[in-house]
Amino acid sequence: MDLAIKYRVPPGTRVDLTQWRTDDAQGVDRDAAEARLAENIDALQKLQYRLYAEKKQSLLVVLQAMDTAGKDSTIRYVFGPLNPAGVRVKAFGRPTDYELSHDFLWRIHQHTPRQGFIQIFNRSHYEDVLVVRVNELVPESVWRERYDIINAFERSLCEARTRVVKIYLHLDKARQKEKLAERLTKPHKLWKFEMGDFDTRRKWDDYMRAYEDAITRCNTDHAPWHIVPTDRKWYRLLAVSEIVRAELERMDPKLPEPTIDRAEALRKLDEIG
Ligand code: ADP
pLDDT digits (tens, 9 = 90+) for 90-117: 999 999 999 999 999 999 999 999 999 9
Residue to mutate, 73, 98, 123, ligand 1, most ligand atoms under 8 Å from C-beta = 123
Query: If you measure from the C-alpha of residue 110 to the centroid of ligand 1, how many angstroms do you get, rounded to a whole number?
Result: 18
Residue to mutate, 100, 103, 131, 192, ligand 1, most ligand atoms under 8 Å from C-beta = 131
The helix (H) or strand (E) run that includes residue 168 is strand 162-170
- Ligand 1 atom with the smallest distance to the CA of 71 is 3
As beta bridge partners, residue 227 has 168
Query: If you measure from the C-alpha of residue 2 to the centroid of ligand 1, how many angstroms do you get, rounded to a whole number?
Result: 32
Query: If you measure from the C-alpha of residue 92 to the centroid of ligand 1, how many angstroms do you get, rounded to a whole number?
Result: 6
Residue 242: give the domain boundaries. Answer: 3-272
For residue range 228-268, list pLDDT tens digits in order.
Answer: 999 999 999 999 999 999 999 999 999 999 999 999 999 99
Residue to mutate, 127, 137, 199, 201, ligand 1, most ligand atoms under 8 Å from C-beta = 127
87-91, 158-162, 193-197, 221-225: least confident range: 193-197
pLDDT of residue 39: 98
- CATH number for position 49: 3.40.50.300
Cβ 49 under 6 angstroms from ligand 1? no
Task: Output the residue whose Cα is nearest ligand 1's atom 15.
Answer: 93
C-alpha dihedral over 170, 175, 177, 179, to 10 degrees? -90
Cβ 132 under 6 angstroms from ligand 1? yes
Cα–Cα nearest to 6, from 247, 259, 244, 227 = 227
Cα–Cα nearest to 145, from 199, 85, 201, 218 = 218
CB 233 within 8 A of CB 70: yes
Asked whether the predicted pLDDT for residue 161 surpasses 80, the reply is: yes
As beta bridge partners, residue 43 has none
Q: How many domains does the chain have?
A: 1
Write b or e for each residue in 242-269: b if 16 or more Cβ atoms lie within 10 A of its Cβ, otherwise e. Answer: bbbbbbbeebebeeeeeeeeeeeeeeee
CB 87 within 8 A of CB 51: no
Q: pTM to 2 decimals?
A: 0.96
CB 15 within 8 A of CB 212: yes
Query: If you measure from the C-alpha of residue 211 to the centroid of ligand 1, how many angstroms do you get, rounded to a whole number?
Result: 15
Q: Going by C-beta distance under 8 Å and a sequence separation of 6 or more, which residues neighbour residue 83?
A: 45, 48, 49, 52
What pLDDT band is residue 14 in, cutting at 50, 70 and 90? very high
Dist. CA 170–CA 179, nearest whole Å: 14
Query: If you measure from the C-alpha of residue 46 to the centroid of ligand 1, how many angstroms do you get, rounded to a whole number?
Result: 33
CB 206 within 8 A of CB 212: no
Q: Going by C-beta distance under 8 Å and a sequence separation of 6 or more, which residues neighbour residue 239?
A: 3, 7, 226, 228, 229
Cα–Cα nearest to 205, from 134, 136, 146, 141 = 134
Measured in residues, the chain has a length of 273
Dist. CA 72–CA 225, nearest whole Å: 19
- Ligand 1 atom with the smallest distance to the CA of 135 is 25
For residue range 122-137, list pLDDT tens digits in order.
Answer: 999 999 999 999 999 9
Q: 165 by DSSP, 3-state: which?
A: strand
